[in-house]
Each structure stands twice: as C-alpha cells, then as structure tokens.
C-alpha cells in the first residue's frame, strides 16, 4: 500500500515534533519532511513532492496565508491548516479555506485528549489526500454586501436545510450568497468546531443578502434568515404554531459528529415533511445520508451535490447510494433549485 506523503510546515519545533510523531505512527501516512517557514517549505515541496501539507499561519519570513495563496495559484495541492483556538485564529482560518485549504484542525494543546486529536488529525490528512484540488486565483477579501435594513420577516411555513463537512465552508458560502433575501428560513449543519462556527457565521453574514447567525435554543425560524449550528451542539427543528423553532442539545455524537446532519434532517422529516427541501453537500463519511432518506420518505424534496463540484464526494455519494436524493445537482444549482421549490410550494399553499 502506497503511503500518503506529508510535509509539516510550522515554526514551532515542539509542534513539528508532535505532528511528526502523530502522523508517523499511522501505517498509511509518511512524514517526508518538515519546514520551519514557507521559504524552506517551497524548496522541500519541489524536492519531496508531498501529497499533503500541514500549514501554520504565523511564521517568519512569509505568513502562511501569503504562502497558501501562492501555492494554490502555482502548484495546487491539499493543505490542512493547523490553527490557533482564538477569535483571530478562527478568522484567519476562514480566510485560509477561502484561499483553497481543504480543512483545518486546532493546534495540539497538551497531552489531554491527545489520542482523539491524533485520530482526527490523521483522518483529516487522509481526507485531504483524496480531495479534488484545482488551480485558483486568490479571491478578494470579503466585502460587506450592499444590504438595506432587514425587513420584518414572518415565521417560515416551510424550511430549507443544508448539511456539509469537508469543503463545506466554501460550498455553503456560495449557496448563501446565491439566495435572495426573501424566502424560507435555512437551517444548516457544517462540521466545524467552536469558535470557528461563530467566525464563519460572522464572515459570511457580511457577504450575503440574508441574516446569517448561530442557532440559539428557542429561536423561531424566520423567512430570510440562515441559522448555523454551533460547533458543539446538535441542532433540531421543532414545531411552533404553524411554523418552526430551533432546539439545541448536547447529547452524544451521532454518526461520529455533534452537530450531526442526520439529527437535523431527521427532525425536519418528522415535523415538516413535504414542507421541507434539503441538500447534502461535500464532505467525508456518511453523516446526513440516512437523514436525507428520511426526508425523502416524508415527502420532502431532496438533493445531493454532484461529484464534479464536490471537494470530497463522500456524504453525497452515500446519499445517492441509499436512494435518498431525488436530484443530483452541481453546487451552483443548489440555491436556484431550492428557491424554485419554495416558489412552487408557496403557490400550492403548503
């Protein structure tokens, strides 16, 4: 079996040593080298041809974002960011994903929980190695979208739902920006830890017509709003009058995740049925596939993102295999298909 070759780029010798030990202990991974800054990394990429890069942000001689931007323009390859658990670190990580990084993981803090951390890091590197990477021009930094005062929005009588994992931050951003201000409320599960979920919500709220916010327990689902699950709680939709409200819980992980797409989708299948439209987007694993099937069986309109537009075609593939997706669509078709469904649903009086 060919092992995945990894190059570690970090200015901390301690972090380089920890990551080397973790990744080197996996039988299918091989650390072919380390670099203390991007200039050294540039030479080692040419020499060692790694399959995946782990990349720090704050480094001497060249910062990680500048290096990542150049890398994705000149020699695209899978990159997993090693991020700090701070508000500044979270915002920088969101920018790294916009520039083309496949995924991210917080820096190892101490020996507590190191086993779980090791498993997560190895899995993210394996997933990155299988990701679809393309050459890209660095996007402009996000600018606030021209948006007037938010009109008063009533309770949603129907609901739109999205689930995503690896590659989902950028995919969801594209969908959100393509949605008009009016229309049913959107509930979303993206596999993302705190405080990164809050940074993502704030960042994308600047760029789209809708109000994007972290879900809070008991919030009503309103038209024109997007609600993102926090990074450590399950999100459900429950009845409230003729509409819906949000419910959060800290129960055990489902499908290996909290929040879980399956938990969200199955709650919507139970309370909304044909008044729901859902899409399962890019991501590794199978979270959301059985929930999407429950939605389809309950009369909802269901979609899976197609392979060509996915960074990782894991979750959508599993949904398609189960027969959970009524339609398989490209990423750019998700928002217009949802809005077309919403117009038809409103016209039918559901």
Cα separation of 268 and 135, whole Å?
Answer: 38
Contact 79, 51 (CB under 8 A): no
Backbone angles phi, psi at 197, to 5 degrees: -60, -45
Closest CA to 345 of 305, 302, 300, 297: 300
Catalytic residue from among 10, 158, 287, 294: 287
Assess whether 165 carries a catalytic annotation.
Answer: yes
Contact 256, 208 (CB under 8 A): no
DSSP 8-state assignment for residue 83: E
- List helix spans (H) across 206-330: 261-271, 289-297, 315-322
- φ/ψ bin of 196: left (φ > 0), alpha (ψ from -120 to 50), beta (otherwise): alpha
Assess whether 191 carries a catalytic annotation.
Answer: yes
Sheet of strand 52-55: strand arrangement: 29-35, 4-9, 52-55, 79-83, 103-106
Catalytic residue from among 191, 225, 234, 257: 191
- List helix spans (H) across the chain: 13-24, 38-48, 64-74, 87-99, 114-129, 168-178, 196-205, 261-271, 289-297, 315-322, 331-348
Catalytic residue from among 69, 118, 158, 165: 165
What is residue 228's three-state secondary structure?
strand
Q: Which two tokens stand for residue 196?
A: 């990164």
- Tell me how far apart the terminal alpha carbons of the chain are, to the nearest angstrom: 54
- List helix spans (H) across 186-330: 196-205, 261-271, 289-297, 315-322
Assess whether 158 carries a catalytic annotation.
Answer: no
Cα separation of 268 and 105, whole Å?
Answer: 30
Residues serving a catalytic function are 165, 191, 287
């Amino acid at each position: 079996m060919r092992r995945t070759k990894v190059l570690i780029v970090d200015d901390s010798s301690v972090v380089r040593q920890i990551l080397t030990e973790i990744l080197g202990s996996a039988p299918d991974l091989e650390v072919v080298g380390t670099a203390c800054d991007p200039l050294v990394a540039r030479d080692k990429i040419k020499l060692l041809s790694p399959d995946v890069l782990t990349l720090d942000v704050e480094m001497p001689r060249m910062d990680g974002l500048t290096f990542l931007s150049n890398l994705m323009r000149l020699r695209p390859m899978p990159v997993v960011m090693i991020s700090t658990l701070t508000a500044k670190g979270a915002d920088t990580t969101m920018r790294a994903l916009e520039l083309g990084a496949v995924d991210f993981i917080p820096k190892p803090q101490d020996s507590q929980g190191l086993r779980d951390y090791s498993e997560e890091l190895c899995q993210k590197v394996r997933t990155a190695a299988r990701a679809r990477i393309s050459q890209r021009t660095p996007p402009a930094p996000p600018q606030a979208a021209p948006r007037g005062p938010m009109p008063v929005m009533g309770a949603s009588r129907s609901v739109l739902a999205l689930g995503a994992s690896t590659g989902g931050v950028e995919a969801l951003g594209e969908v959100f920006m393509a949605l008009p201000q009016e229309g049913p409320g959107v509930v979303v599960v993206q596999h993302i830890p705190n405080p990164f979920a809050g940074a993502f919500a704030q960042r994308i709220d600047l760029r789209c017509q809708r109000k994007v916010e972290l879900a809070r327990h008991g919030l009503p689902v309103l038209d024109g709003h997007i609600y993102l699950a926090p990074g450590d709680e399950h999100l459900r939709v429950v009845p409230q009058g003729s509409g819906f409200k949000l419910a959060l819980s800290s129960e055990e992980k489902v499908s290996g995740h909290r929040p879980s797409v399956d938990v969200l989708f199955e709650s919507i299948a139970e309370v909304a049925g044909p008044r729901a439209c859902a899409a399962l987007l890019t991501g590794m694993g199978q979270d959301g596939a059985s929930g999407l099937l429950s939605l389809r069986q309950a009369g909802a309109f269901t979609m899976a993102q197609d392979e060509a537009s996915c960074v990782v075609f894991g979750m959508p593939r599993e949904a398609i295999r189960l027969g959970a997706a009524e339609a398989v669509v490209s990423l750019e078709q998700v928002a217009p298909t949802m809005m077309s469904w919403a117009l038809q649903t409103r016209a039918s009086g559901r």
